Amino acid sequence: MNNNPVVEEDVQPYRGRFAPSPTGPLHAGSLTSALASFLDARSLKGIWRLRIDDIDPPRAAKGSVEAIRSALISHGLIWDEPVLYQSWASECYERALRQLSEKGWLFRCICTRTHLTARGTCGQACADQNISSDLPHSLRVKVDRRRLTGFEDRFLGMQTAARADVSEDFIVKRRDGLYAYQLAAAVDDAQPHFTHIVRGADLLTSTHRQRWLQDLLALVSPSYGHVPLVFDRQGHKLSKQTGAPALNVHAPEDNLRASLNHLDQVTPPTTARTVAEILEHAIAHW
């Protein structure tokens, strides 16, 4: 991959991660994201961790953590250090919310789906109403769009906030009391936890939001690189929610070759037969 900034000696050693939500088994799309972040970390002699984003119990699928772990292992994507679970980090998210609130960036929002704007933002000016905490509400963070700086994506180049069309507010704690993905990812992905985030291009807008939260929380953002999504025949992004088929874990070599092809990588020679040989070639050519 054509990646500009390489780890320099005076900066932190590379720390990357794959962070699936436990909503189902791995499919070709999530394998591709996992593989990209793994190859990036390994080719830069970095640490690569597995983090399970289990902050949304209603969407969790029974057995999926084990299915994800064993699929990664059968594809040779072996992580370093113990597995992380976002459900262990509630205190950190609560602290972040307190900080945002003290700085005046949060507001209670009572909008239900029918009140929201087409962009999904608060439709009733809840920020100006001092909503009582007794009412069912979500917490939203305000976005000062003039202050969004954009960022240099390692694979896609400069990403301006204007292009991503980031909205003027978004949810950080849901009405049902669960922490929003944007908040949890912003806190957990910041340095020193991670230095490099490599993930699917569907998360580009999320990256602007997460960088905004990191900025408000005075956290140091990692560098970001987004890789192309895998689509099905109908042109839909493969995802667990839309029932993407699980990987055939009995054909890891074929799956890895398909993902490498999708990532536009040099095809490993036919002499590379095992998972380890394919990965070795892929790391050397990333």
| Shortest Å, Cβ 206 to ligand GLU | 7
72 binds ligand GLU (CB under 6 A): no
Rounded to whole angstroms, the Cα distance separating 23 from 59 reads 6
| Shortest Å, Cβ 19 to ligand GLU | 4
x-marked contacts with ligand GLU along 27-66 as a string, rule CB under 6 A: --------------------------x-------------
Q: Is 28 helix (H, G, I), strand (E, B) or coil?
A: helix
15 binds ligand GLU (CB under 6 A): no
Instruction: Single out the residue of 245, 240, 285, 257 nearest to residue 22, CA to CA.
Output: 240
Among 14, 15, 16, 20, binds ligand GLU (CB under 6 A): 20
| Shortest Å, Cβ 25 to ligand GLU | 12
In this structure, are strands 15-18 and 47-52 parallel, antiparallel, or unpaired?
parallel
* Type of residue found at 46: G
Q: Print burial letters for 87-103: b (CB count within 10 Å at least 16), e (below 16).
A: bebeeebeebbeebeee
Among 49, 199, 208, 209, binds ligand GLU (CB under 6 A): 199
Smaller CB separation from ligand GLU, 20 or 76: 20
Q: Which stretch binds ligand GLU (CB under 6 A): 17-25, 64-72, 257-265, 272-280?
A: 17-25
Q: Which stretch binds ligand GLU (CB under 6 A): 16-24, 114-122, 135-143, 274-282?
A: 16-24
Residue nearest ligand GLU, CB atom distance: 53
Instruction: Single out the residue of 4, 29, 264, 34 nearest to residue 151, CA to CA.
Output: 4
184 binds ligand GLU (CB under 6 A): no
Instruction: Single out the residue of 34, 69, 72, 101 nearest to residue 263, CA to CA.
Output: 34
Rounded to whole angstroms, the Cα distance separating 259 from 270 reads 16
Summarize as ranges the residues that interact with ligand GLU (CB under 6 A). Answer: 19-21, 53, 185, 199, 203
